[in-house]
Structure 1
């Protein structure tokens, strides 16, 4: 049984849209693409390298898949660990419109997302990694299918853009499993999903 692990970049105000470049995702007239670039120091790169030591397969949203597929197949240096993993390992894309993917090792999955991803986890030996793919991560969290989230928060507020934890998300509790902060101020925190929240009150008992 595999673990479904999400690694996602967000701003301080929770925006996940277009971290990598100005034209990456301009939905809604978004003009702040590329907001993560200036924070990519050695510590940040080391974390990304560590993540890419562990995948057994990848599960990618359609938009993230298209971005990756336009770049990583062109990177053929065997010393590039990220490219080597992405190009060699199985990639799965939930989509009703992607019919003939050109990137080798890609399988399109359709139908019931919960059923398909559960089956995919059951036959994966190791980490089934989701990178970016904010809308897909939202759905997977709501379905209770995510095991671990690496939430990478950058010290910038944008004010507009698609947010990861939006109104109506299923209430979810997380258990902190580790973290670090890079010299550039990027907070890298890891959480295991731990079910539904617990509730209490700070009010003093009447007879206290």
Structure 2
């Protein structure tokens, strides 16, 4: 098993996204009185959780069991968080950018792998969203936070939009690399615009008012 093999530019970006997801999990774990090993586990599930669920649903061996790079990157992320914690705190916007790029790339990978497995387009779009977001859901559950997926932020919807763009471009016979690039770019742009301009979904509130309860 090779830990680091020859990789393409897209895979480099994928690994950078993995690093960012791992850092985000480790940073959130740091405020929960969790030890180093626990922080590593939180970072790891953040980075590989979505892809693992995708592969299990596709009935294939999870990707990280075939390539130890993801385990190593999570360890590097933990070491970086410990050694450079002050600098990392000042790199919030940069890490957010990597996280957003990772979201777009992972979503596209999930859609592409599901499409190659012969799933219908709607299932592929859902699988892309799972790949991009499920790791964060597992992370938030483990550290007792409301998952970002269920808050007001435009997160999973960006993944769904990216999946739709994937299939629209495919129907117009775009080259596959172009299709994947446009799908990933759609997720990234929607996420960035939503955060920049504070675009959020309305909160569902079905609880009764005090007056209703009194009546």
So what's the TM-score if we normalise by structure 1? Answer: 0.29
Q: With CA pairs under 8 Å and 6+ residues apart, which has the higher RCO, 1 or 2?
A: 1
Decide which structure has greater strand share.
1
| TM-score of the aligned structures, taking structure 2 as reference length | 0.29
